[in-house]
């Protein structure tokens, strides 16, 4: 069976860059961006999208509900 | 029927949804009467609950009132002090509710005998912030009864807490009462109430916090505009032999009952004495008192306190005529004779 | 949508991936309709946001949004009434269980929950908490324990650990002066009015899932009129603790959970 593949969308301007999702991701998919959002935070973003399985661990720990998770099998 | 029992019976009959109370002398009969009647199971379905404190009771009222229910609590002076935080929140959140103060002598634990020393607390805003309570002062057991329904009517009309400022004497007094038929409890709740957010409307919020100062100021302005409407429309008072009076007593509650006798005694001696009784202590009937004061030689503010309402009397009279104060406090009840003696001594000065 | 997915040093055709995967039917997680669109006022990484979301998700999944009345406290979560997409009342400090009592007694068919922090529930509102529990009020208390007063700037709470520093215990909480950390959930659990008492946390994805299950259970017990349910949720306060969010979760696991062990404290005995 093929590995599930996932993708996350992170709201750029609502993310507070707390890094909890980066830490929670089992596959090191996420990192904080070098860019600064409207609130002055470095939002989280995908850096290794090919590793994402859509497990939603990032979304689980996200306090601000800024992550939408997609998954295909 | 006892004054306190009249309040309890009136609550059931006017369709009140919930009473939350805590025992304190001299008003415990209200909770006791309701407990015995058991309206939740045997009559109107009204909730009756003894809370763990006056603070909890007033906050239970907040919760029920926030759901658009007719909710009330009662207590006596020290307990009413504990409710002030809740009253400030209820006024700020524009919730309708009824609070009864069967007041006693203070300050502190004071005495358990009747007192009227909670006037400032009642009409000047006992809690923090710019708010007003509509304050009704009964002087008969019938009025104790009638003001419950009236209180709820005003509370819902203006979305504002209403206080019945009674005293230990009226609360403990026994008089005949004409009862009214049982009203149904309301099934339709106001549109602003927290009843569960249905998809067809925005969520309802009951809150009192406005971090942004201009928002808070606008809220205060809205409240003040409402209070102005109340002042224009809800003033209530009673005049007694004022038509030919040369001197006028201003008294409310138990003091006004005692002064009825003082007036009778004075009239027997040929002294043209009358009485003006504010029924709404807030809004205070200042305009009417101002008019009356133009045509008399003196005004006597008589209270069971060390002088509280007298300040509003002086403000209303505006130097038209001398205002003198007579009061007893600490739970001591004045006699009609001693009031007359005071008036005579002042007249002869 | 204000989304960004940046291509950095990886050699993946991100646009092709997006096209393939980002479809409505592939969504496995999105923000619950139990919350409003208002951005949360909490500090980055604060556990409050997660717990808010879990409550919103439970309400959405149980399809009870129209039947819930929430009671917000005073503290960091004072604005909860702007975040829950629910009818909400904001209570005075510590009074939420009394307010909830007034609501539940007059609206017995609604789900009523309070959302309170440790200062609100375990200090100023101790009396209301214990008596609502003892009466067996059919309400749910969601109790966020982060061992500190966050809103007012990191003062000592009843739950602050011994030797833990705060702005009012700058040399650490001393037993002789301040007493011990108060474990109020264990304290009220034995009361016969309490049907369900549990302590959860939201510092890892697995714990988040467990916490959500606990909240759901509490709401279900409320529906069954079993009495008061309390779900204590251990949370971080990275600003108050002066750590990064990631550090604070680690610190919590290493220090807080010893005093406040996770797991069910009381579950309903009958089926």
Q: Would you list the DSSP string of B193-245?
A: S-S---TTSPPPEE-----SHHHHHHHHHHHHHHHHHHHHH---EEEES-TT-
CA angle, A39 then A43 then A44, to 5°: 160
C-alpha of B218 from chain center: 28
Cβ pair A42, A36 in contact under 8 A: yes
CA B88 to CA B94: how far, in whole Å? Answer: 10
List of domains in chain A: 5-61 (3.30.70.20)
Q: Taking a contact as any Cβ pair under 8 Å apart, which residues of chain C between 75 and 134 contact chain A?
A: none
Output helix, strand, coil percentages for chain B, rounded to the nearest 5. Answer: 40, 20, 40
Average pLDDT on B69-96 reads 98
Strand-pair partners of B20: B49
- What's the mean pLDDT in C66-78? 96
C105 closest CB neighbour out of B49, B66, B198? B49
Which of B347, B342, B293 minimizes the C-alpha distance to B315?
Answer: B293
Check whether A11 has a pLDDT greater than 70.
yes
pLDDT in tens, B230-270: 999 999 999 999 999 999 999 999 999 999 999 999 999 99
Nearest-Cα distance to chain B for C40, in Å, is 15
Nearest to C143 by CA among C100, C109, C102, C206: C100
- Asked if residue B331 lies in contact with residue B108, where contact means CB atoms within 8 angstroms, the answer is no
Contacts of C4 in chain A (CB under 8 A): 10, 12, 33, 35, 43, 45
**Rounded Cα–Cα distance for residues B131 and C141 (Å):** 31
Percent of chain B exceeding pLDDT 90 equals 99
**B199 Cβ under 8 Å from any chain C Cβ:** yes
Alpha-carbon distances of B135 from B98, B279, B328, C9, C218, rounded to whole Å: 10, 8, 22, 73, 42
- Which pairing describes strands B134-136 and B280-282: parallel, antiparallel, or unpaired? antiparallel
Mean pLDDT of A11-38: 96
Beta strands C155-156 and C148-149, pairing class: antiparallel
Tally helices (H) and strands (E) across chain B: 14, 13
Q: How far apart are CA C54 and CA C52, in angstroms?
A: 5
Give the 3-state secondary structure of residue B44: coil
CA B297, CA B91: separation in Å to the nearest integer? 40
pLDDT at C155 over 70: yes
Chain B residues closer than 8 Å to C219 by CB: none
Q: List pLDDT tens digits, range B292-310.
A: 999 999 999 999 999 999 9
What would the two tokens of residue B90 be?
């209820």
Q: Which contiguous run of DSSP H or E holds residue B57?
A: helix B54-66
Cβ within 8 Å, pair C5-A23: no
CA distances from A30 to A26, A60, A65, A73, C259 (A): 10, 14, 16, 21, 33
Q: Which fold has domain B238-347?
A: Rossmann fold (3.40.50)
Q: Which CATH class is domain C45-266?
A: alpha beta
Q: Determine A/B contact with 3+ CB pairs under 8 A as the test.
A: no
To the nearest 10°, the Cα dihedral for C34, C38, C42, C43?
120
Comparison of pLDDT for C2 and B345, the residue scoring more:
B345
Is A41 within 8 Å of chain C by CB?
yes
Give yes or no for B305 touching C (CB within 8 A). Answer: no
Interface test with C, best of A4, A13, A18 (most C CBs within 10 A): A18
**What is the arithmetic mean of pLDDT over C156-175?**
96
pLDDT confidence of residue C271: 53
Q: Is the pLDDT of residue B219 over 60?
A: yes
CA distance C134 to chain A (A): 33
What length does chain B have? 349
Q: Which of C18, C21, C40 to mutate to test the interface with A (most CBs of A within 10 A)?
A: C21
**CA gap A9, C17 in Å, rounded:** 12
> Residues of CATH 3.40.50.920 domain(s) within chain B?
238-347
Touching partners of C (3+ C-beta pairs < 8 Å): A, B
pLDDT in tens, A32-63: 999 999 999 999 999 999 999 999 999 999 99
When pLDDT is cut at 50, 70 and 90, the band that residue C1 belongs to is very low
Three-class SS of residue B104?
A: strand
Q: What are the pLDDT digits (tens) for C100-149?
A: 999 999 999 999 999 999 999 999 999 999 999 999 999 999 999 999 99
The string of pLDDT tens digits covering residues B139-194 is: 999 999 999 999 999 999 999 999 999 999 999 999 999 999 999 999 999 999 99
- Residue by residue, what is the 3-state secondary structure of chain C? CCECCCCCCCCCCHHHHHHHHCCHHHEEECCCCCECCCCCCCCCCCHHHHHHHHHHHHHHHCCCHHHEEEEECCCHHHHHHHHECCEEEECCCCCHHHHHHHHHHHCCCCEEEEEEEHHHHHHHCHHHHHHHHHHCCCCEEEEEECCEECCCCCEECCCCCECCCECCECCCECHHHHCCCCCHHHHHCCCCCEEEEEEEECCCHHHHHHHHHHHHHHHHHHHCCCCEEEEEEECCCHHHHCCCHHHHHHHHHHHHHHHCCCEEEECCCCC
pLDDT band at residue C9, thresholds of 50, 70 and 90?
A: very low
Put simply, the answer to whether A65 touches C28 (Cβ < 8 Å) is no
User: What CATH superfamily is the domain B3-194+223-233?
Assistant: Thiamin diphosphate (ThDP)-binding fold, Pyr/PP domains (3.40.50.970)
Tokens of B127: 């809690």
pLDDT of residue A3: 75
Q: Which residues of C touch A68 (CB under 8 A)?
A: 27, 29-31
> Is some CB atom of chain B closer than 8 A to the CB atom of C87?
yes
- Measured between CA atoms, the residue of chain B closest to residue C106 is B64
Q: What whole-number distance in Å separates Cα of residue B6 and Cα of residue B182?
A: 14
pLDDT band at C4 (very low <50, low <70, confident <90, very high): low
ipTM for the assembly: 0.96
Q: What pLDDT shows up at residue C11?
A: 58
Radius of gyration of chain A (CA): 12
A9 reaches C (C-beta below 8 A): yes
Question: C28–A70: do the CB atoms touch at under 8 Å?
Answer: yes
Whether the ω angle into residue B107 lies within 30 degrees of 0, i.e. cis, is: yes
Give yes or no for a contact between C126 and C98, defined as CB atoms under 8 angstroms apart: no
- Measured CA distances, C179 to C159, C172, C176 (Å): 10, 12, 6
Residue C79 to residue B209, Cβ atoms within 8 A: yes
- Closest by CA position to B86, among listed B58, B45, B44: B58
pLDDT of amino acid C3: 53
Q: How far is A51 from chain C (nearest CA, A)?
A: 11
CB contact at 8 A, B36 and B66: no
Residue C257, chain B, CB below 8 Å: the answer is: no
Chain C residues with beta carbon closer than 8 angstroms to that of B206: 81, 88-90
pLDDT exceeds cutoff 90 at B43:
yes
Over 70: is that where the pLDDT of C179 sits? yes
Residue range(s) of every CATH 3.40.50.970 domain in chain B:
3-194+223-233
**Omega of the bond leading into B157 within 30 degrees of 0 (cis):** no
Surface of C (242-271) touching A: CB under 8 A: 244-246, 249
Check whether B17 has a pLDDT greater than 80.
yes
Of C255, C238, C250, the closest CA to residue C204 belongs to C250
B291 vs C269, residue with greater confidence? B291
Report DSSP state, residue A49. G
What is the three-class DSSP state of B102?
strand
B174 within 8 A of B108, measured Cβ to Cβ? no
pLDDT of residue B98: 98
Separation in Å, CA C149 to CA B259, C96, C169, C225, C232: 55, 17, 12, 33, 16
Strand partners of residue B323: B299
Q: What is the pLDDT of residue C16?
A: 85
């Amino acid at each position: 069976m093929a590995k599930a593949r996932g993708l996350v969308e992170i709201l750029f301007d609502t993310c507070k860059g707390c890094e909890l999702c980066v830490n929670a991701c089992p596959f090191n998919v996420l990192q904080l961006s070098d860019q600064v959002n409207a609130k002055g935070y470095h939002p989280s973003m995908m850096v290794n999208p090919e590793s994402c399985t859509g497990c939603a661990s990032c979304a689980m720990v996200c306090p601000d509900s800024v992550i939408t998770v997609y998954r295909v099998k | 029927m006892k004054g306190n029992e009249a309040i309890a019976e009136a609550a059931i009959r006017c369709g009140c949804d919930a009473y939350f109370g805590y025992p304190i002398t001299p008003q415990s009969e209200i909770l006791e009467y309701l407990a015995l009647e058991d309206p939740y199971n045997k009559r109107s379905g009204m909730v009756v609950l003894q809370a763990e404190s006056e603070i909890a009771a007033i906050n239970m009222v907040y919760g029920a009132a926030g759901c658009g229910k007719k909710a009330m609590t009662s207590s006596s002076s020290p307990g009413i002090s504990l409710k002030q935080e809740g009253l400030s929140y209820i006024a700020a959140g524009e919730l309708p509710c009824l609070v009864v103060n069967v007041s006693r002598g203070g300050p502190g634990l004071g005495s358990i005998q009747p007192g009227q020393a909670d006037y400032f607390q009642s009409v000047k805003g006992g809690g923090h912030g710019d708010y007003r309570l509509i304050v009704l002062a009964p002087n008969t057991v019938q009025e104790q009864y009638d003001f419950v329904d009236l209180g709820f009517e005003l509370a819902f009309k203006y979305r504002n807490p209403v206080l019945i400022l009674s005293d230990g004497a009226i609360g403990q007094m026994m008089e005949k009462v004409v009862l009214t038929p049982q009203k149904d409890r309301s099934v339709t709740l106001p549109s602003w109430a927290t009843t569960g957010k249905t998809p067809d409307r925005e969520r309802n919020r009951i809150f009192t916090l406005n971090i942004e100062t201009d928002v808070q100021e606008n809220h205060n302005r809205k409240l003040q505009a409402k209070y102005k409407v109340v002042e224009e429309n809800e003033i209530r008072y009673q005049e007694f032999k004022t038509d030919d009076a040369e001197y006028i007593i201003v008294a409310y509650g138990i003091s006004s009952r005692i002064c009825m006798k003082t007036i009778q005694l004075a009239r027997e001696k040929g002294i043209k004495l009358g009485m003006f009784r504010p029924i709404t202590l807030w809004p205070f009937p200042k305009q009417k008192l101002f008019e009356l004061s133009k045509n008399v030689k003196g005004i006597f503010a008589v209270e069971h306190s060390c002088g509280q309402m007298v300040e509003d009397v002086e403000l209303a009279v505006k130097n038209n005529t001398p205002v003198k104060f007579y009061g007893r406090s600490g739970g001591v009840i004045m006699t009609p004779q001693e009031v007359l003696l005071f008036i005579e001594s002042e007249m002869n000065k | 949508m204000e989304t960004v997915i940046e291509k950095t040093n990886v050699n993946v055709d991100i646009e092709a991936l997006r096209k393939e995967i980002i479809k409505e039917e592939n969504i496995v997680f999105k923000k619950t309709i139990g919350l409003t669109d208002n951005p949360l006022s909490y500090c980055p990484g604060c556990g409050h946001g997660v717990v808010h979301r879990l409550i919103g998700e439970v309400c959405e999944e149980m399809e009870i949004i129209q039947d819930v009345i929430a009671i917000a406290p005073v503290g960091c979560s004072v604005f909860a009434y702007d975040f829950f997409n629910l009818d909400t009342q904001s209570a005075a400090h510590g009074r939420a269980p009394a307010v909830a009592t007034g609501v539940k007694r007059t609206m017995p068919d609604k789900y009523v929950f309070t959302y309170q922090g440790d200062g609100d529930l375990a200090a100023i509102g101790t009396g209301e908490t214990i008596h609502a529990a003892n009466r067996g009020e059919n309400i749910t208390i969601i109790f966020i324990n982060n061992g500190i007063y966050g809103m007012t700037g990191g003062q000592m709470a009843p739950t602050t650990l011994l030797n833990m520093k705060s702005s009012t215990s700058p040399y650490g909480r001393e037993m002789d002066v301040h007493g011990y950390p108060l474990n109020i959930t264990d304290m009220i659990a034995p009361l016969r009015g309490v049907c369900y008492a549990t302590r959860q946390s939201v510092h890892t994805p697995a714990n988040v899932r467990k916490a959500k299950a606990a909240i759901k259970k509490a709401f279900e017990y409320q529906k069954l009129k079993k009495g008061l349910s309390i779900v204590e949720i251990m949370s971080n306060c990275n600003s108050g603790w002066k750590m990064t969010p990631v550090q604070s979760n680690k610190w919590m696991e290493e220090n807080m959970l010893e005093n406040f062990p996770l797991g069910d404290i009381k579950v309903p005995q009958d089926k």
